[in-house]
Structure 1
Amino acid sequence: MPDYAADDAYLGAVVGRYANRIAHGRFVLDGVTYELPTNDRGHTLHGGMDGFHRRVWAGVGFADGERAGVRGTPFDFTPPAATEGPAAAVSLGDRVRSDHPQVAAVNGLDHCLVLRGGVGLRRAALLHAPESGRVLETWTTEPGLQIYTANALGAPFGRHAAVCLETQRIPDSPNRPAYPSTVLRPGQAHCSSTQYRFTHLPTR
């Protein structure tokens, strides 16, 4: 537990109060400007240095920037029409080595994709490791999926040795009225569901 609490890479963490970044560490709510601690190049990442990742949680098991189009870019993970499975696969290795300016700036992928499919629980991603045969599906009710390809993790991890699929609201939403609201008023309840399904494993 001490090692987990001291980790600063957010591995396996519940992040918040706001996942991803809030620009310049500030936002306005009901006409009041709130200043936040910054921990990522002048921005607030994952709730700051003393966010939810520093808390101990009880768990229950169960089965930055402008919005832009992805067609023709390294961020296009949409499969060809009527294509499923390995035939629709996109190599993450090829994408992290792209010379696209946004990829080069962070040495890989660290971007939020706005998901299609409306509301409700739906599949957001499918990862397949051909050598091991492992398959991971990510299902979520959230509108965004951050892909992070371990661009800056230190030892014992190597660069691009892993990939994180982080379900979340759209980055910097408190400062962007056109995005789905992240305001939670007193008396309101927040409900979100994310499932990671290892579909190569036999069902029980």
Structure 2
Amino acid sequence: MSPLTLLLPDPPLDPSGSEARSELRRELLRPEYHDRNLVQQILDWVNRKVSSGLDQASHAPQLSTLMAMVVFVALALVLGWLVSRARRTTRDRSEKPAVLTDEVVSADELRARARAALEAGRFEEAVVDGFRAVAVRQVERGRLADNPGATAHEVADTLAAEYPDRADRVRAGAALFDAVLYGDRPATRDQAASVLALDDDLVVRR
């Protein structure tokens, strides 16, 4: 390398979209990301990159400077999205919504609420109240312990043992309850109706 080369400034930072994504992945895989707060790590990294880009951009043509800043803004948006996904994943793994709550309500009342929500097109509410009606009704029948805080998975395990021929439907209803209530997943009319049908089906079982 010649002395003249050493004196020349680094080329302006102007990565392509694929290069920017690759650099982002490499950065997020660094070991220190497991030891510090994720949000602060990302903010520190963006700050370092922006500062470096501004230093290099001072020696670059105006168009290259603009391109570099556009890339950095895009990276910041992507990082924000990744942070929100990471938070949701952590929350999903650490918490599950309860089917049996401290609310004093009968299975028939929950069933009526679910039916009204279904008829009004509020299918997510119909799924949630419908599956809670299933659980509370089984508590009333003595098939399920009255355990406020019990999750859909726990309720499904107990009811699957009580009604082995309906185990698949019970587990499907529990999974739908979790997905709608905690996963922000939209429900359909057919899905809401299937939960109410499950309640009807288990009522006639002995």
Higher helix share: 2
| TM-score scaled by length of structure 2 | 0.21
| TM-score scaled by length of structure 1 | 0.22
Higher strand share: 1
